[in-house]
Structure 1
Amino acid sequence: MEERETVDLLQPLWRALVVFRVLTWAFACFGVWTRWDGIVRPSGAVLQMAVMGVWTLISSIGYSRRWGRRNTRLAFVDLAVTVGCMYATLWAQPLLDIRSGASVLTSVWAAGPVLALAISRGRDGGLLGAATISLALLSLRGVDNAAKILSNVQLLLVAGLVVGYAATTMRQAGRRLREAIAAESATAERLRLSRSIHDGVLQVLAQVQRRGTAIGGEAVELARMAAEQEVALRSLMSTRPTVADGDRVDLCGLLLPLATTKVDVVVPAGQVLLPAQTAAELVAAVKEALSNVSKHAGPDARAWVVVEDLDTEVVVSVRDDGVGTTPTRLDQATTEGHLGVSQSIRGRIADLGGTVSVRTAPGEGTEWELKVVTA
């Protein structure tokens, strides 16, 4: 909770609202004092200012606390109390006088809940607050005076829109800042663990691999297992967060875990962002291509997965040094009912609006090139 509070960019808006509430209450009191002689029931005006002062104190305390800022109920209660205070002008002035031009004593103070709802609920909250206050003002002034209060209504609507938009933007910025802080913390911890693993576990595994290969016999199997674990650990150390911006993910973070002792994954230093669904389908196609390498390229075949970011499109190449085949044989496999190539690779990429090309020949391995647009 403490970390979330430190990156709450809405705090300045809440503090400004508290200051606005206090200043506008003082302004309303000053307005009563300047119009004292024109008020029919001065005691009613004093009572109304006292109620407004008490509520200003309560709401200001609430908006200064985390529970008041995070719980929108306070803003809705503020709206209801403010409307009640607007009608409390009837304690001081008859309705006929108000419709004849006498002031509604809440004055600018009535805009407080509009700003509170805009901050807590964004644009829609600001518009709801502005509409509610405007309707209350219209009911007091009367339909015949609608033109006279038009400027007040416009100001309320503009305030709700502008503050609501600003609050939404700042809330999104705060969320992204928290994500960035979390990613930075995770990266720092991963680097610390990587140094520890590199200085200890990886060196031991490399030593076991070398010694096992040199000794021969049953130790060769131990060397092979040590090599696999070394690759798995290095892959884990290089893995990075995949969620980057909303529903866009880092393709590299999804492909790096595919590395094994026989598969090398080469990616750009920076993130390659794609829509989550596009990235998932592209990774599935790469896995199918690697599966074909395992099944058909030969027991000693190695594979390479290479990612290229060309701004408008992403190219993923899956190449192996296996026995290879012929394009005709690939087409024949499809007609025989083997749909791995036609559906799991070509079909997936085609559904994404991308293209697939394959280069292969007997004894020269196979290379798949998968292209998808980045938008």
Structure 2
Amino acid sequence: MTLQTENRLSVAEAQAICLRNNIPFYSYRLPGSHEVVFGAQLTNNIRLFKGFEKHRGEKGFIITPFNPASWSFPFFIQADLTFTDYLTDQEAIVNLRNTVFNTPGRIFTKQDCEHFEYLDELRTLIATLKREGMRKAVLSRTITIPCDSLRIAPVLFEQMRQYHHAFLFFAAIPGKCAWIGASPETFLKYDRNGFFSMSLAGTQPVSTAQNPPQWGEKDIEEQQIVTDYIQNTLKQFFTRHLETEGPITLQAGNVFHLCTFFRSDEQIPPDRIDELVTQLHPTPAVCGIPKKRAMQVITEIEKQERGYYAGYLGPLQATGAFDLFVNLRTMEVFDDALKLYVGGGITPLSDPETEWQETCQKADTLLNLIRQINYGKTTF
């Protein structure tokens, strides 16, 4: 852990100040980058995200829920103060330290699914898929770890920097939401070169997979469902050029995934970007197909509210460029606990016990980091 020197502030120190003083903030590192960007909103005015056209010319961070129709609202954290890696402006450091908001804390309520409960949910879901002829739906569960989360979270973010190919993020709006994670999945990226997206589905543990992994019928079908949906959606907006690459095998922590990439150098106006995002989210990678019915089934069967899990989040630049990722491999940060969310794509071919084990494998990476910090091997 890099400690603050006399004349500079690290990202971890800035995160700790914001958590202590109830300041809305975000921090992230893009896949393949070594730079960590930090931003803080120095007002207590909670802003809703109203779309790319409405926020044209603004810089900040977007965090949106899984279900656009839920009571979890999309938020925008504005970049009143921002720096990369270290803050050296002494006036800005003092200003950050002296900014304090009185915001109610967020205490967790444990609603985790035990093994047998999750198997029952899986059997119900698989029976529903077969009965209704649905191709796929995604089921998730939570793992709650009571802990000194406000101390642990900045340390955890620092430790997660080892996952170079993931989108690393820690964003918090006090009293509303706080999430930390290392997502392997790009939702939608836009800059002057055009647009980029991906379909990510199918999972094998690195420890038991062949090299290269051999993919079974269930994983191949699941990935194709997601690929077809994203490709058909993008074709409605990119009529001149849409490049597709894949599927290829992608490693994310201790698991492999199947992945297909989509690129277009076409430019579309902000109102069309809003329309594209609305049609694209949520993809079958985190919801299912058909989407409307899958959303209903998930709401009926899952024990917990997803909130911002499997929504999208990421930075928005004043130029209009953005990097949005699916909120996966993620934890919700409460004042007294971390709640880890994990899930998997279910098809009529799914085996309940195998699907349970997949969620355990996905959770292991973050759980191991928390154990190391909690047991005193890493200190802040």
TM-score, scaled to structure 1:
0.20
Larger relative contact order (C-alpha < 8 A, sep ≥ 6)?
2
Bigger share in helix = 1
Structure number with greater Rg is: 1
TM-score (normalised: structure 2): 0.20
